[in-house]
Amino acid sequence: MRQNRAMMSTDTLEKIVSMDCVQSAPKDDPITLCWLGGEVMALPIETLIAYRDVIHRIAPHARNRLVTNLFSLTHEQIKFIKETFFSIETTYAAGMKMSLDGSEEKYQHRFKRNLKKLADEGILCHVNVELNDKTIEAGVDHIIELARETGQKCWEFDISIKFDQVLEKGVQVNDYLYADDVPMTVSYKQWADYIIQFIRDRNKEMKELGIRIGFIDSCFSKDNDPFFNTMKTHVYLTFNPNGDVLGAPVFSALHPIFYGNIHQNSEKEILNHPTKLKHTAYEHVGRFHHEACYHCEFFTECKGGFSCVPITDGSGECVGMKSVRSYIEAYRTEFAKHPNVLWNPSLGELPNLTFDELER
């Protein structure tokens, strides 16, 4: 809950995993339980084992996913991760992240060390790169070198929200009780230009290192994979330690958007809470009447993008990153014509050059 150090009780966890929507999930499409905070791995290992025992006893079919900042990672914790989680993810930024004593240098050192430690143990970690101004200033080579140094291959680029402002000033909610106008650290145009630079200048290195970037993959495959699980209110719930229930975890400190409390409300009341229904309506209907989306050829792919920020921000780009998708369509066309060519639109078509020739 960002501003307190509450830990979820095993009683609260038991109530959550005993819900019919958890118990009735088919075995071939099991429910996923994401452990996040705060920092999960800052809890005593005995507490983590107690949580796992509750889940194994009541919902043994559930899959567990860990979200961690990787600041601390002991051998005992690595053993627990291997035994417990099918997936692990973390968040990275080139700046504005620091240790408890305020050191960015210490944070960077320990993060990279522990990310590599996971790779050395054979654990694939999904790294969500927060594209704040510091990360963009560091450039695309910074992420390539980070991937090379740590051995991790699965990366994502996330929009960066100014949570300090959210906590200090709060946010406005719209007619659907949805906080869709949170402040961001960079413009959509800066975000899109960074991604295009990645594709244009570092495609070869990505292939050599086996790097996969979720947003780029979804653009190429034309799949809709919403950021932060927004647009998934109909199938996604977040529980605070005290049992409060909400949709996307980015809203965990904003009280107008809660759906009830697991100790005070029935499952039916939570799943049919008027605010939850309004959020679902906003994500799947209300926000699609924006003029930037109405005639867009990529609308069926992005569905308007990340739903808790504005569709447009005045930068000339939209949250669905239309310029990135347009670039990829041009890239796709040229690659189909010349599959052995590294196409760079700034140099024009290069139909007779192979990768080796381009290097020479």
- At residue 347, the pLDDT reads 44
Nearest Cα neighbor of 144 from 69, 89, 94, 187 is: 94
Q: Is 164:181 a contact under the CB 8 Å cutoff? A: no
36, part of any domain: yes
129, part of any domain: yes
pLDDT above 60 for 354:
no
How does the average pLDDT of the chain come out, rounded? 86
Residue scoring higher pLDDT (81 or 2): 81
Report, as an integer, the average pLDDT of 259-266: 96
Domain count, the chain: 1
Helix or strand or coil: residue 329?
A: helix
Beta bridge partners of 236: none
Q: Is 180:324 a contact under the CB 8 Å cutoff? A: no
The percentage of the chain sitting over the pLDDT mark of 90, rounded to a whole number, equals: 47
pLDDT above 90 for 267:
yes
CA atoms within 13 A on the CB side of 138: 18
Quote the pTM value.
0.86
* Other beta carbons within 10 Å of 176: 19
- At residue 2, the pLDDT reads 57
Strand order in the sheet with 212-213: 32-35, 63-67, 87-92, 125-130, 154-158, 212-213
Identify the DSSP state of 259.
Answer: -
- At residue 128, the pLDDT reads 92
Report, as an integer, the average pLDDT of 224-248: 81
pLDDT above 90 for 92:
yes
* Other beta carbons within 10 Å of 116: 15
133, part of any domain: yes
- At residue 293, the pLDDT reads 86
Write down how long the chain is.
Answer: 360
60, part of any domain: yes
Backbone dihedral angles phi then psi of residue 65, each to the nearest 5 degrees: -125, 135
342, part of any domain: no
Report, as an integer, the average pLDDT of 276-301: 85
Q: Is 90:70 a contact under the CB 8 Å cutoff? A: yes
CATH of the domain at 156: 3.20.20.70
CA atoms within 13 A on the CB side of 224: 17
Q: Is 203:145 a contact under the CB 8 Å cutoff? A: no
pLDDT tens, residue by residue, 126-140 = 999 999 999 999 999
121, part of any domain: yes
Buried b (16+ CB within 10 A) or exposed e, 292-316: bbeebebbebbbbbbbbbbbbbeee
Q: Is 218:225 a contact under the CB 8 Å cutoff? A: yes
Beta strands in 58-109 (DSSP E): 63-67, 87-92
Lowest average pLDDT, out of 78-92, 155-169, 188-202, goes to: 155-169
- At residue 235, the pLDDT reads 87
- At residue 356, the pLDDT reads 47
- At residue 230, the pLDDT reads 66
Report, as an integer, the average pLDDT of 167-194: 87
What range defines the domain where residue 219 resides? 10-160+186-254
Lowest average pLDDT, out of 68-72, 91-95, 97-101, goes to: 97-101
120, part of any domain: yes
C-alpha distance across the termini of the chain, in Å? 54
Helices 75-84 and 45-58, axial angle in degrees (round to 10)? 10
For the record, the structure tokens of 17 come out as: 């995993």
Would you say the C-alpha torsion 208, 210, 216, 220 has a positive or negative sign? positive
pLDDT above 60 for 141:
yes
271, part of any domain: no
Which band of pLDDT confidence, cut at 50, 70 and 90, is reported for residue 59? very high
Q: Is 179:254 a contact under the CB 8 Å cutoff? A: yes
- At residue 126, the pLDDT reads 95
Would you say the C-alpha torsion 340, 345, 348, 349 has a positive or negative sign? positive
Q: Is 329:251 a contact under the CB 8 Å cutoff? A: no
Which band of pLDDT confidence, cut at 50, 70 and 90, is reported for residue 1? low
Residues 6 or more apart whose CB falls under 8 angstroms from that of 56 comprise none
Backbone dihedral angles phi then psi of residue 27, each to the nearest 5 degrees: -65, -25
Residue scoring higher pLDDT (222 or 14): 14
Buried b (16+ CB within 10 A) or exposed e, 6-25: eebeeebbebbbebeebeeb
pLDDT above 90 for 205:
no
